[in-house]
């Protein structure tokens, strides 16, 4: 019995050690900006944004000779799924007052001064409560291998930051999965309300993903292996045309190339395509199919494993 247990542990260890980790770096820009930059300027202020996986690090420069007040109660954060909420003022994370009930929730930007902060959804206040606030204010233009970056900006992320696959046979499927993911999670935004004298000013910023770079990580070294651009369709990605001869037969959420997701039971797969039942069809008579010529490893389960596996 001990020998069997030891063999299982060894096999699991070998499987884990042979798996491949992919890390993702997102390249973004302000919607409608020139040259896809992350900077906006008018006569009052200059804004620079550094989107990170769990929120937005930003810098505001006051270009006037008067103090400007950022009114947090009128500011909002839009996560990548397009869900909006109040923006988190990290300055009060270590105070006893609750962010949702604090009165006079304002930040001052002195004349000709600069204001640098990190923000995310105020719903995350309890998640970030125990992180040293000062670490939020270190510029996030650091490597994703940096300890502070991992502790702060990869903490409870909105974006997928890494995946681990059993081997390279899953690579194409993972890239298609990521392409579908970033195309449907490309709605990051931030809204500010400011007060200068007796006047109030509202700003709305939309931040878009330009591309995502996939890296393999080995011995602490990152190597770029793919670049996913959001203005391309899945058909623009190169997929191997080698014959595919292994099929996953299991009950799970199936994601088709058109983005449809359904809970299915795979019945069979042949040269014509895949055939499956929707699990919620109680009479089990409604057989659905998807032609193989449209698959080419593009149909996959929610956990990332493909229906068809490349025969390498």
φ, ψ of residue 270 to 5 degrees: the values are -145, -160
pLDDT of residue 228: 85
CATH 2.60.40 is right for the domain spanning 28-158+186-207: yes
Q: Which residue has the higher pLDDT, 154 or 293?
A: 154
pLDDT digits (tens, 9 = 90+) for 256-303: 555 566 666 666 655 556 666 665 544 444 555 555 444 444 555 555
> pLDDT value at position 279?
56
Give the whole-number percent of the chain exceeding pLDDT 70: 62
| CA 170 – CA 226 distance, rounded (Å) | 14
In sequence order, what are the residues at sequence separation of 6 or more whose Cβ sits closer than 8 angstroms to the Cβ of residue 68? Answer: 44, 45, 62, 108, 109, 194, 195, 196
| Secondary structure of the chain as H, E, C letters | CHHHHHHHHHHHHHHHHHCEEEEEEEEEEECCCHHHCCEEECCCEEEEEEEECCEEEEEEEECCCCCEEEEHHHCEEECCCCCEEEECCHHHCCCCCCCCCCCCCEEEECCCCEEEEEECEHHHHHHHCCCCHHHHHCCCCCCCCCHHHHHHCCCCCCCCCEEEECCHHHHHHHHHHHHHHHHHCCCCEEEEEEEECCEEEEEEEEEEEEEEEEEEEECCEEEEEEEEECCCCHHHCCCCCCCEEEECCCEEEEECCCCCEEEEEEEEEECCEEEEEECCCCCCCCEEEEEHHHCCCCCEECCCCECEEECC
**Edge-to-edge strand list for the sheet holding 114-119:** 39-41, 45-52, 55-62, 114-119
* Cβ-based neighbour number of residue 247 at 10 Å: 15
98 pLDDT above the threshold of 60 = no
- Average pLDDT taken over every residue of the chain: 75
- The answer to whether 115 and 62 are in contact (CB under 8 A) is yes
Instruction: Name every residue whose Cβ is closer than 8 Å to that of residue 212 and which is 6 or more positions away in sequence.
Output: 24, 25, 26, 27, 178, 182, 227, 228
Q: How far is CA 200 from the centre of its chain?
A: 33
Q: For the chain, which residues make up each domain, given as ranges?
A: 28-158+186-207, 240-310
**Looking at residues 73-88, what average pLDDT do you find?**
94
Lowest mean pLDDT among 4-18, 147-161, 218-232: 4-18
Average the pLDDT over 30-58 and give the result: 94
Supply the pLDDT for residue 91: 83
How many CA atoms, within 13 angstroms, populate the side-chain half-sphere of residue 241? 1
Question: Of 156, 145, 129, which Cα lies nearest the Cα of 221?
Answer: 145
């Amino acid at each position: 019995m001990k020998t069997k247990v030891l063999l299982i542990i060894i096999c699991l260890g070998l499987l884990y050690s042979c798996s491949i980790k992919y890390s993702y770096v997102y390249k973004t820009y302000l919607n409608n900006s020139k040259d896809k930059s992350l900077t906006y300027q008018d006569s009052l202020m200059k804004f620079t944004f550094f989107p990170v996986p769990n929120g937005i690090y930003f810098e505001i420069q006051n270009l006037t000779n008067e103090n400007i007040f950022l009114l947090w109660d009128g500011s909002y954060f839009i996560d990548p799924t397009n869900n909006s909420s109040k923006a988190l003022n990290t300055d009060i994370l270590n105070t006893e007052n609750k962010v949702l009930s604090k009165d006079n929730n304002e930040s001052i930007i002195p004349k000709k001064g600069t204001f640098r902060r990190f923000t995310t959804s105020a719903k995350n206040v309890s998640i970030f409560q125990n992180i040293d606030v000062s670490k939020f204010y270190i510029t996030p233009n650091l490597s994703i291998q940096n300890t502070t970056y991992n502790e702060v900006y990869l903490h409870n992320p909105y974006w997928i930051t890494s995946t681990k696959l059993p081997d390279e046979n899953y690579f194409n499927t993972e890239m298609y999965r990521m392409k579908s993911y970033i195309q449907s999670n490309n709605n990051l935004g931030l809204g500010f309300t400011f007060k200068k004298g007796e006047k109030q000013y509202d700003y709305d910023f939309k931040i878009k993903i330009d591309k995502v770079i996939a890296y393999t990580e080995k011995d602490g070294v990152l190597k770029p292996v793919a670049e996913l651009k959001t203005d391309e369709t899945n058909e623009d990605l190169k997929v191997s045309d080698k014959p595919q001869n292994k099929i996953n037969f299991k009950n799970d959420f199936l994601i088709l190339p058109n983005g449809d997701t359904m809970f299915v039971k795979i019945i069979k797969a042949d040269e014509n395509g895949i055939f499956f039942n929707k699990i919620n069809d109680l009479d089990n008579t409604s057989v659905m199919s998807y032609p193989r010529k449209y698959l080419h490893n593009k149909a996959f389960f929610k956990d990332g494993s493909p229906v068809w596996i490349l025969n390498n």
